[in-house]
Amino acid sequence: MSNRITLKLKEDKKLLSIYFTAGYPSLNDTVKIIEDLEKNGVDMIEIGLPFSDPLADGPTIQESSTAALKNGMTTEILFEQLRDIRKTVSIPLIIMGYFNPVLQYGVEAFCKKCQEIGIDGLILPDLPLDVYQDDYETIFKKYGLINVFLITPQTSNGRIDQIDSASDGFIYMVSSASVTGSKSGFGQEQENYFERIAKMNLKNPQIVGFGIKDEETFKQATKTAKGAIIGSAFIKHLTAYGTDKTNEFISLIR
């Protein structure tokens, strides 16, 4: 069977991907949030495995991670919650987190578990390209997992080419030099960056993340890119309105 991410990327549409922190607002919201997102037409989901020290995240995701850990979320519990997820959900599911919890679980054990559940890919921002290639690529591949790398406006073209050839799904295009949740709206700098990347004709499609929060930013980001990822804005929505209003949030995007 082909990886669900690969299949999804072939669809002739702009993709909406949503990030949420597992275990937030309440420990057992994970499955409901995933099911509701799919029902409301979301194309792909990033399930955040919370970490105590999320270096690349702004206050919104930090606070949701702290709350999730306080609620008792652990790697084991997340896997347990997701055990039957493929009975009800068919869109691609990605686990996004930091490398240390994966390392402690055991990278191979973690990947094996992901395959059993039906996870399609991983995003581990602090697992660098060279370490991945030297130590973990064969394991990820063995369990059918796509590893997603990030690029930023500061990433050199040479490095982007390297990342493109190491990727076999999509490239996570960080919209601006920032942690998650910190910028409001896109300016000329982003437009230039989006166009520069589009002109590179990379083999992997790009999905834009960081700073997408509404219809306007989603449209701007997906003018050239294949899709966009919303994180902090959705977490804020969960904080404000709980888990029953996912449809309202999605309807504001598209």
Binding site for another protein (CB under 8 A): 51-53, 55-56, 58-59, 62, 66, 69, 74-76, 98-105, 125-128, 130-131, 149-152, 154-156, 159, 163, 174, 177-179, 182
H/E element, 247: helix 246-251
Is the Cβ of residue 89 or residue 151 nearer to another protein in the bound state? 151
Q: Which is nearer to another protein, 76 or 191 (CB)?
A: 76
3-state secondary structure of 111: helix
Q: Which of 57, 126, 189, 191 is catalytic?
A: 57
Residue 171 Cβ vs another protein, minimum distance, rounded to whole Å: 10
Q: Among this protein's residues, is 57 annotated catalytic?
A: yes
Considering just the CA atoms, what is the radius of gyration of the chain in Å?
Answer: 17
- Interatomic CA distance for residues 127 and 143, integer angstroms: 18
Omega before 25 within 30 of 0, i.e. cis: yes
The minimum distance between CB 150 and another protein, in angstroms, equals 4
Residue 25 beta carbon to another protein: minimum distance, rounded to whole angstroms: 19
Nearer to another protein by Cβ, of 135 and 195: the residue is 135
Cβ proximity of 243 and 36 under 8 Å: yes
> 210 is written with which tokens?
């960081």
3-state secondary structure of 72: coil
Q: Which residues contact 206 (CB under 8 A, 6 or more apart)?
A: 151, 170, 171, 172, 173, 197, 224, 225, 226
Q: Whole-number minimum distance, CB 53 to another protein, in Å?
A: 5
* Residue whose CB is less far from another protein, 130 or 244: 130
Burial code (b: 16+ CB inside 10 Å, e: under 16) for 207-243 equals bbbbbbbeeebbebbbebbbbbbbbbbbbebbeeeee
C-beta closer to another protein: residue 4 or 213: 213
Catalytic residue among 46, 53, 84, 126: 46
CA dist., res. 49 & res. 246, Å (int)? 20
CB of 186 to another protein, least distance (A): 16
Q: Which residues are catalytic?
A: 46, 57
